[in-house]
Structure 1
Amino acid sequence: MQSLLDSIEVSTSFFISLGAPGLLAVAFLEFFMLPIPPDLVLVPLAVANPEFALLYAAIATAGSVAAGLAGYTIGKKGGRPALDSRFTGKRIQQVESYFDRSGFATIAIGAFAPIPEGYEILSIASGVFDLDIRSYLLASVLGRGGRYFLEALLAVMLGEAARSLTEVEIYSIVGVVTLVVLVAYLLRNWWLPDLSASPPR
Protein backbone atom coordinates (compact mmCIF):
# COMPACT_ATOMS: atom_id res chain seq x y z
CA MET A 1 0.00 0.00 0.00
CA GLN A 2 2.78 2.43 0.91
CA SER A 3 4.55 1.76 -2.39
CA LEU A 4 1.30 2.55 -4.22
CA LEU A 5 0.91 5.83 -2.33
CA ASP A 6 4.53 6.72 -3.06
CA SER A 7 3.97 5.96 -6.74
CA ILE A 8 0.88 8.18 -6.83
CA GLU A 9 2.78 10.99 -5.11
CA VAL A 10 5.62 10.78 -7.64
CA SER A 11 3.15 10.68 -10.53
CA THR A 12 1.27 13.69 -9.13
CA SER A 13 4.53 15.66 -8.91
CA PHE A 14 5.27 14.73 -12.51
CA PHE A 15 1.93 16.06 -13.77
CA ILE A 16 2.35 19.23 -11.70
CA SER A 17 5.74 19.78 -13.32
CA LEU A 18 4.05 19.72 -16.74
CA GLY A 19 1.86 22.67 -15.80
CA ALA A 20 -1.38 23.26 -17.72
CA PRO A 21 -0.88 20.31 -20.16
CA GLY A 22 -0.35 17.99 -17.19
CA LEU A 23 -3.52 19.24 -15.54
CA LEU A 24 -5.49 18.73 -18.75
CA ALA A 25 -4.14 15.18 -19.07
CA VAL A 26 -4.99 14.27 -15.47
CA ALA A 27 -8.47 15.78 -15.70
CA PHE A 28 -9.18 13.67 -18.78
CA LEU A 29 -7.51 10.43 -17.72
CA GLU A 30 -8.94 10.41 -14.19
CA PHE A 31 -12.31 9.51 -15.73
CA PHE A 32 -10.72 6.32 -17.05
CA MET A 33 -9.49 5.23 -13.59
CA LEU A 34 -6.18 7.11 -13.34
CA PRO A 35 -5.66 7.13 -9.54
CA ILE A 36 -4.68 10.81 -9.45
CA PRO A 37 -7.47 13.35 -8.88
CA PRO A 38 -7.08 16.62 -10.83
CA ASP A 39 -7.67 18.48 -7.55
CA LEU A 40 -4.18 17.54 -6.34
CA VAL A 41 -2.64 19.02 -9.48
CA LEU A 42 -4.93 22.04 -9.75
CA VAL A 43 -4.36 23.37 -6.21
CA PRO A 44 -0.52 23.46 -6.31
CA LEU A 45 -0.57 25.06 -9.75
CA ALA A 46 -3.05 27.71 -8.59
CA VAL A 47 -0.91 28.44 -5.51
CA ALA A 48 2.27 28.75 -7.60
CA ASN A 49 0.60 30.95 -10.23
CA PRO A 50 -2.44 32.64 -8.66
CA GLU A 51 -2.84 34.93 -11.66
CA PHE A 52 -3.63 31.83 -13.73
CA ALA A 53 -5.82 30.12 -11.10
CA LEU A 54 -9.09 30.62 -12.98
CA LEU A 55 -7.46 29.49 -16.22
CA TYR A 56 -6.29 26.30 -14.51
CA ALA A 57 -9.84 25.73 -13.24
CA ALA A 58 -11.16 26.15 -16.78
CA ILE A 59 -8.57 23.69 -18.12
CA ALA A 60 -9.47 21.10 -15.48
CA THR A 61 -13.15 21.58 -16.31
CA ALA A 62 -12.54 21.19 -20.04
CA GLY A 63 -10.51 18.00 -19.62
CA SER A 64 -12.98 16.42 -17.24
CA VAL A 65 -16.07 17.32 -19.28
CA ALA A 66 -14.40 16.07 -22.47
CA ALA A 67 -13.80 12.71 -20.75
CA GLY A 68 -17.38 12.72 -19.51
CA LEU A 69 -18.59 13.28 -23.05
CA ALA A 70 -16.64 10.19 -24.09
CA GLY A 71 -18.48 8.31 -21.34
CA TYR A 72 -21.80 9.69 -22.57
CA THR A 73 -20.99 8.40 -26.07
CA ILE A 74 -20.08 4.97 -24.65
CA GLY A 75 -23.45 4.81 -22.94
CA LYS A 76 -25.31 6.07 -26.00
CA LYS A 77 -23.78 3.50 -28.30
CA GLY A 78 -23.34 0.62 -25.86
CA GLY A 79 -26.72 0.82 -24.16
CA ARG A 80 -27.47 -0.93 -20.88
CA PRO A 81 -24.60 -3.45 -21.25
CA ALA A 82 -22.17 -0.51 -21.07
CA LEU A 83 -23.35 0.08 -17.50
CA ASP A 84 -23.71 -3.57 -16.51
CA SER A 85 -20.13 -4.34 -17.55
CA ARG A 86 -18.65 -1.61 -15.33
CA PHE A 87 -20.86 -1.18 -12.27
CA THR A 88 -22.91 -3.28 -9.83
CA GLY A 89 -26.63 -3.68 -10.29
CA LYS A 90 -27.37 -1.88 -7.03
CA ARG A 91 -25.49 1.25 -8.07
CA ILE A 92 -27.17 1.23 -11.47
CA GLN A 93 -30.61 1.00 -9.85
CA GLN A 94 -29.78 3.95 -7.59
CA VAL A 95 -28.61 6.06 -10.51
CA GLU A 96 -31.68 5.14 -12.55
CA SER A 97 -33.98 6.24 -9.72
CA TYR A 98 -32.12 9.59 -9.54
CA PHE A 99 -32.51 10.07 -13.28
CA ASP A 100 -36.24 9.37 -13.01
CA ARG A 101 -36.52 12.34 -10.64
CA SER A 102 -34.19 14.80 -12.36
CA GLY A 103 -31.42 13.88 -14.75
CA PHE A 104 -30.03 17.41 -14.96
CA ALA A 105 -29.73 17.89 -11.19
CA THR A 106 -28.29 14.39 -10.80
CA ILE A 107 -25.48 15.17 -13.24
CA ALA A 108 -24.79 18.66 -11.87
CA ILE A 109 -24.59 17.59 -8.22
CA GLY A 110 -22.81 14.33 -9.05
CA ALA A 111 -20.20 16.15 -11.15
CA PHE A 112 -19.53 18.52 -8.26
CA ALA A 113 -19.41 15.94 -5.48
CA PRO A 114 -16.13 14.09 -4.75
CA ILE A 115 -17.60 10.61 -5.17
CA PRO A 116 -15.27 7.89 -6.57
CA GLU A 117 -16.52 6.79 -10.02
CA GLY A 118 -19.54 9.03 -9.51
CA TYR A 119 -19.10 11.20 -12.59
CA GLU A 120 -18.12 8.16 -14.66
CA ILE A 121 -21.27 6.19 -13.95
CA LEU A 122 -23.48 9.26 -14.32
CA SER A 123 -21.95 10.16 -17.68
CA ILE A 124 -22.39 6.67 -19.09
CA ALA A 125 -25.90 6.51 -17.61
CA SER A 126 -26.76 9.81 -19.30
CA GLY A 127 -26.11 8.19 -22.66
CA VAL A 128 -27.90 4.98 -21.73
CA PHE A 129 -31.00 6.79 -20.43
CA ASP A 130 -30.96 9.20 -23.39
CA LEU A 131 -30.49 12.46 -21.49
CA ASP A 132 -30.43 15.40 -23.91
CA ILE A 133 -26.81 16.09 -24.85
CA ARG A 134 -27.14 19.84 -24.26
CA SER A 135 -28.58 19.27 -20.80
CA TYR A 136 -25.80 16.81 -20.04
CA LEU A 137 -23.05 19.22 -21.11
CA LEU A 138 -24.55 22.18 -19.24
CA ALA A 139 -24.95 20.14 -16.05
CA SER A 140 -21.40 18.78 -16.40
CA VAL A 141 -19.89 22.23 -16.88
CA LEU A 142 -21.85 23.61 -13.91
CA GLY A 143 -20.88 20.71 -11.65
CA ARG A 144 -17.28 20.15 -12.67
CA GLY A 145 -16.63 23.84 -13.20
CA GLY A 146 -18.17 24.76 -9.87
CA ARG A 147 -15.89 22.31 -8.10
CA TYR A 148 -12.65 23.28 -9.80
CA PHE A 149 -13.28 27.03 -9.67
CA LEU A 150 -14.07 26.70 -5.96
CA GLU A 151 -10.77 24.90 -5.40
CA ALA A 152 -8.85 27.44 -7.46
CA LEU A 153 -10.31 30.32 -5.45
CA LEU A 154 -9.57 28.45 -2.23
CA ALA A 155 -5.95 28.02 -3.31
CA VAL A 156 -5.63 31.74 -4.03
CA MET A 157 -7.22 32.69 -0.70
CA LEU A 158 -5.08 30.32 1.39
CA GLY A 159 -1.87 30.79 -0.54
CA GLU A 160 1.01 28.54 0.48
CA ALA A 161 -1.14 26.99 3.23
CA ALA A 162 -3.21 25.32 0.50
CA ARG A 163 -0.22 23.21 -0.52
CA SER A 164 -0.48 21.27 2.73
CA LEU A 165 -4.12 20.35 2.18
CA THR A 166 -4.55 16.61 1.77
CA GLU A 167 -6.94 14.96 -0.66
CA VAL A 168 -9.26 14.19 2.26
CA GLU A 169 -9.26 17.82 3.42
CA ILE A 170 -9.94 19.15 -0.08
CA TYR A 171 -12.75 16.65 -0.57
CA SER A 172 -14.15 17.47 2.86
CA ILE A 173 -14.49 21.13 1.88
CA VAL A 174 -16.06 20.20 -1.45
CA GLY A 175 -18.29 17.69 0.35
CA VAL A 176 -19.63 20.33 2.73
CA VAL A 177 -20.44 22.65 -0.18
CA THR A 178 -22.09 19.73 -2.00
CA LEU A 179 -24.24 19.01 1.04
CA VAL A 180 -25.33 22.64 1.27
CA VAL A 181 -26.21 22.71 -2.44
CA LEU A 182 -28.09 19.41 -2.17
CA VAL A 183 -30.12 20.55 0.83
CA ALA A 184 -30.90 23.84 -0.90
CA TYR A 185 -32.08 21.92 -3.99
CA LEU A 186 -34.30 19.60 -1.94
CA LEU A 187 -35.83 22.54 -0.07
CA ARG A 188 -36.27 24.76 -3.13
CA ASN A 189 -40.04 24.26 -3.25
CA TRP A 190 -40.33 25.36 0.37
CA TRP A 191 -38.15 28.44 -0.08
CA LEU A 192 -39.49 29.60 -3.45
CA PRO A 193 -43.11 30.44 -4.22
CA ASP A 194 -44.95 28.44 -6.84
CA LEU A 195 -44.28 30.56 -9.91
CA SER A 196 -46.90 28.67 -11.88
CA ALA A 197 -49.66 29.61 -9.44
CA SER A 198 -52.12 32.26 -10.56
CA PRO A 199 -51.77 35.60 -8.77
CA PRO A 200 -54.56 36.48 -6.33
CA ARG A 201 -57.35 38.69 -7.68
Structure 2
Amino acid sequence: MLRRLYDWTMSLATRETAIVWLGIIAFVESSIFPVPADLLLIPMALARPERAWRYALVATVCSVLGGIAGWYLGHYAFDTIARPLLEFYGKLDTFEHLKASVDSEMLALLLVTSGLAHLPPIKVVTILSGAANINLGLFIVSAIIARGARFFLLAWLLRRFGEEIRDFLERRLGALAGAAATVLICLFAAHRFLS
Protein backbone atom coordinates (compact mmCIF):
# COMPACT_ATOMS: atom_id res chain seq x y z
CA MET A 1 0.00 0.00 0.00
CA LEU A 2 2.80 2.48 0.87
CA ARG A 3 4.51 1.83 -2.47
CA ARG A 4 1.29 2.69 -4.34
CA LEU A 5 0.94 5.89 -2.30
CA TYR A 6 4.57 6.77 -3.06
CA ASP A 7 4.11 6.17 -6.80
CA TRP A 8 0.88 8.18 -6.84
CA THR A 9 2.54 11.05 -4.97
CA MET A 10 5.45 11.08 -7.42
CA SER A 11 3.05 11.17 -10.39
CA LEU A 12 1.53 14.39 -9.05
CA ALA A 13 4.78 16.30 -9.64
CA THR A 14 4.25 16.35 -13.41
CA ARG A 15 0.73 17.76 -13.34
CA GLU A 16 -0.27 21.37 -13.98
CA THR A 17 -1.82 21.39 -10.52
CA ALA A 18 1.37 20.15 -8.83
CA ILE A 19 1.65 23.13 -6.48
CA VAL A 20 -1.92 22.54 -5.26
CA TRP A 21 -1.10 18.87 -4.69
CA LEU A 22 2.09 19.87 -2.86
CA GLY A 23 0.00 21.97 -0.48
CA ILE A 24 -2.51 19.17 0.03
CA ILE A 25 0.16 16.52 0.64
CA ALA A 26 2.07 18.82 3.03
CA PHE A 27 -1.16 19.53 4.94
CA VAL A 28 -2.30 15.93 5.35
CA GLU A 29 1.22 14.60 6.01
CA SER A 30 1.28 16.55 9.27
CA SER A 31 -1.79 14.84 10.66
CA ILE A 32 -2.89 11.73 8.74
CA PHE A 33 -0.87 10.89 5.58
CA PRO A 34 2.21 8.60 5.65
CA VAL A 35 4.07 9.96 2.58
CA PRO A 36 6.28 13.06 3.14
CA ALA A 37 5.79 16.18 1.02
CA ASP A 38 9.52 16.12 0.18
CA LEU A 39 8.83 13.41 -2.38
CA LEU A 40 6.72 15.87 -4.34
CA LEU A 41 8.86 18.93 -3.65
CA ILE A 42 12.06 17.35 -5.03
CA PRO A 43 10.91 16.63 -8.61
CA MET A 44 8.95 19.91 -8.73
CA ALA A 45 11.98 21.99 -7.69
CA LEU A 46 14.22 20.12 -10.12
CA ALA A 47 11.80 20.69 -12.98
CA ARG A 48 11.40 24.42 -12.19
CA PRO A 49 14.31 25.58 -9.99
CA GLU A 50 13.20 29.22 -10.27
CA ARG A 51 10.09 28.25 -8.28
CA ALA A 52 11.87 26.24 -5.57
CA TRP A 53 11.42 28.99 -2.93
CA ARG A 54 7.71 29.28 -3.73
CA TYR A 55 7.33 25.51 -3.43
CA ALA A 56 9.15 25.54 -0.08
CA LEU A 57 6.87 28.32 1.17
CA VAL A 58 3.72 26.45 0.11
CA ALA A 59 4.98 23.25 1.73
CA THR A 60 5.87 25.08 4.96
CA VAL A 61 2.59 26.97 5.29
CA CYS A 62 0.44 23.95 4.47
CA SER A 63 2.48 21.65 6.70
CA VAL A 64 2.09 24.04 9.64
CA LEU A 65 -1.65 24.31 8.97
CA GLY A 66 -1.83 20.50 8.83
CA GLY A 67 0.07 20.35 12.11
CA ILE A 68 -2.49 22.69 13.66
CA ALA A 69 -5.22 20.34 12.40
CA GLY A 70 -3.32 17.44 14.03
CA TRP A 71 -3.11 19.44 17.28
CA TYR A 72 -6.89 19.96 17.20
CA LEU A 73 -7.42 16.25 16.46
CA GLY A 74 -5.37 15.33 19.50
CA HIS A 75 -6.96 17.98 21.69
CA TYR A 76 -10.63 17.66 20.77
CA ALA A 77 -11.09 14.36 18.95
CA PHE A 78 -8.47 11.96 20.24
CA ASP A 79 -10.72 8.99 21.00
CA THR A 80 -13.02 9.35 18.00
CA ILE A 81 -10.54 10.24 15.21
CA ALA A 82 -6.89 10.38 16.30
CA ARG A 83 -6.70 7.02 18.11
CA PRO A 84 -8.11 5.07 15.12
CA LEU A 85 -5.69 6.90 12.78
CA LEU A 86 -2.70 6.07 14.97
CA GLU A 87 -3.85 2.44 15.22
CA PHE A 88 -4.25 2.27 11.41
CA TYR A 89 -0.66 3.42 10.85
CA GLY A 90 0.71 1.26 13.67
CA LYS A 91 1.83 4.34 15.63
CA LEU A 92 -0.40 4.06 18.70
CA ASP A 93 2.32 2.35 20.77
CA THR A 94 4.80 5.11 19.83
CA PHE A 95 2.18 7.68 20.80
CA GLU A 96 1.39 6.07 24.16
CA HIS A 97 5.08 5.70 25.00
CA LEU A 98 5.76 9.36 24.18
CA LYS A 99 2.68 10.56 26.04
CA ALA A 100 3.79 8.76 29.21
CA SER A 101 7.36 10.01 29.08
CA VAL A 102 7.46 13.62 27.87
CA ASP A 103 6.98 17.01 29.45
CA SER A 104 6.28 20.24 27.57
CA GLU A 105 10.00 21.02 27.10
CA MET A 106 10.68 17.60 25.63
CA LEU A 107 7.61 17.87 23.42
CA ALA A 108 8.88 21.17 22.01
CA LEU A 109 12.12 19.39 21.12
CA LEU A 110 10.17 16.53 19.54
CA LEU A 111 8.29 19.07 17.42
CA VAL A 112 11.58 20.31 16.05
CA THR A 113 13.10 16.86 15.49
CA SER A 114 9.94 15.46 13.91
CA GLY A 115 9.62 18.56 11.76
CA LEU A 116 13.19 18.22 10.55
CA ALA A 117 13.62 14.47 10.40
CA HIS A 118 10.27 12.79 11.04
CA LEU A 119 11.73 11.36 14.27
CA PRO A 120 9.20 10.48 15.62
CA PRO A 121 6.69 10.84 12.77
CA ILE A 122 5.23 14.34 12.56
CA LYS A 123 1.63 13.14 12.78
CA VAL A 124 2.36 11.43 16.12
CA VAL A 125 3.85 14.60 17.58
CA THR A 126 1.12 16.94 16.30
CA ILE A 127 -1.61 14.75 17.75
CA LEU A 128 0.37 14.26 20.97
CA SER A 129 0.80 18.02 21.32
CA GLY A 130 -2.95 18.52 21.24
CA ALA A 131 -3.68 15.58 23.53
CA ALA A 132 -1.07 16.83 26.03
CA ASN A 133 -2.53 20.36 25.80
CA ILE A 134 0.76 21.94 24.68
CA ASN A 135 0.43 25.69 24.19
CA LEU A 136 -0.82 26.21 20.64
CA GLY A 137 1.38 29.30 20.12
CA LEU A 138 4.53 27.39 21.09
CA PHE A 139 3.41 24.55 18.85
CA ILE A 140 2.94 26.88 15.86
CA VAL A 141 6.30 28.63 16.32
CA SER A 142 8.11 25.28 16.65
CA ALA A 143 6.37 23.93 13.56
CA ILE A 144 7.20 27.02 11.48
CA ILE A 145 10.88 26.82 12.45
CA ALA A 146 11.25 23.07 11.94
CA ARG A 147 9.18 22.62 8.81
CA GLY A 148 10.46 25.85 7.27
CA ALA A 149 14.06 24.82 7.90
CA ARG A 150 13.46 21.44 6.29
CA PHE A 151 11.67 22.65 3.16
CA PHE A 152 13.81 25.76 2.55
CA LEU A 153 17.05 23.82 3.05
CA LEU A 154 15.79 21.24 0.59
CA ALA A 155 14.87 24.00 -1.91
CA TRP A 156 18.31 25.60 -1.50
CA LEU A 157 20.09 22.28 -2.06
CA LEU A 158 18.03 21.55 -5.16
CA ARG A 159 18.63 25.04 -6.61
CA ARG A 160 22.33 24.92 -5.79
CA PHE A 161 23.17 21.39 -6.91
CA GLY A 162 20.26 20.44 -9.16
CA GLU A 163 19.82 16.96 -10.56
CA GLU A 164 23.18 15.71 -9.24
CA ILE A 165 21.91 15.90 -5.65
CA ARG A 166 18.56 14.20 -6.31
CA ASP A 167 19.71 10.61 -5.76
CA PHE A 168 21.73 11.65 -2.73
CA LEU A 169 18.71 13.40 -1.18
CA GLU A 170 16.28 10.60 -1.96
CA ARG A 171 18.59 8.02 -0.40
CA ARG A 172 20.11 9.96 2.48
CA LEU A 173 17.83 12.86 3.41
CA GLY A 174 16.30 10.89 6.27
CA ALA A 175 19.71 9.89 7.61
CA LEU A 176 21.05 13.45 7.41
CA ALA A 177 17.97 14.89 9.09
CA GLY A 178 18.17 12.10 11.68
CA ALA A 179 21.78 13.04 12.43
CA ALA A 180 20.76 16.69 12.89
CA ALA A 181 17.91 15.60 15.17
CA THR A 182 20.31 13.42 17.19
CA VAL A 183 22.64 16.39 17.70
CA LEU A 184 19.68 18.50 18.90
CA ILE A 185 18.58 15.77 21.32
CA CYS A 186 22.11 15.39 22.68
CA LEU A 187 22.42 19.16 23.19
CA PHE A 188 19.05 19.22 24.94
CA ALA A 189 20.01 16.26 27.16
CA ALA A 190 23.32 17.91 28.05
CA HIS A 191 21.53 21.16 28.87
CA ARG A 192 19.05 19.35 31.16
CA PHE A 193 21.81 17.32 32.78
CA LEU A 194 23.94 20.39 33.49
CA SER A 195 21.00 22.48 34.78
| TM-score range relative to shorter protein | 0.7 to 0.9
User: Aligned residues, how many?
Assistant: 189
The residue type paired with residue 97 of structure 2 is Q
Distance 1:67 1:156, change over 3 A: same
**Can you give the 5+ residue segments of structure 2 that lack an aligned partner in the other structure?**
none
Distance change in 2, residues 1:7/1:78 (3 Å): closer
Q: Encode CA deviations 1:150-197: one digit per residue, 9 max, x unaligned.
A: 211111222111333463322122222222333333334689xx8xxx
Whole-Å separation in 2 of the counterparts to 1:31 and 1:162: 25
Larger radius of gyration: 1
1:45-86 CA-partner distances (Å, limit 9, x unpaired): 222222322221111111111111111111111256765442
Structure 2: distance between partners of 1:24 and 1:33:
14
Q: Deviations over 1:104-128 (max 9, x none)?
A: 2221222222346x21111111111
Q: Describe how 1:98-177 pairs up with structure 2 within 5 A.
A: 98-115=102-119, 118-165=121-168, 167-177=170-180
Q: State whether residues 15 and 26 of structure 1, in contact with CA within 8 Å, keep that contact through their aligned partners in structure 2.
A: no
1:65-76 correspondence runs (5 A) = 65-76=64-75
| TM-score of the aligned structures, taking structure 1 as reference length | 0.78
User: Counterparts of 1:46-57 in structure 2 under 5 Å?
Assistant: 46-57=45-56
Letter in 1 for 2:123: E
Q: Which residue of 2 aligns with 1:184?
A: 187
Q: What is residue 94 of structure 1 aligned with on the other side?
A: 98
After superposition, give the CA deviation of every residue in 1:97-148 in whole Å (9 maximum; x if it has no partner): 22355332221222222346x2111111111111111001011111111111
Paired residue secondary structure (1:131): coil
Which stretch of structure 1 is more off in the superposition, 182-191 or 100-109? 182-191
- Which secondary structure state, in structure 2, belongs to the residue aligned with residue 187 of structure 1? helix
Q: Report if aligned partners of 2:32, 2:123 keep a CA contact under 8 Å in 1.
A: no
Cα distance, 1:36–1:79 mapped onto 2, change above 3 Å: closer
Distance change (3 Å), C-alpha of 1:143 and 1:88: same
Distance 1:166 1:125 in 2: 29
Counterpart in the other structure of 2:25 = 26
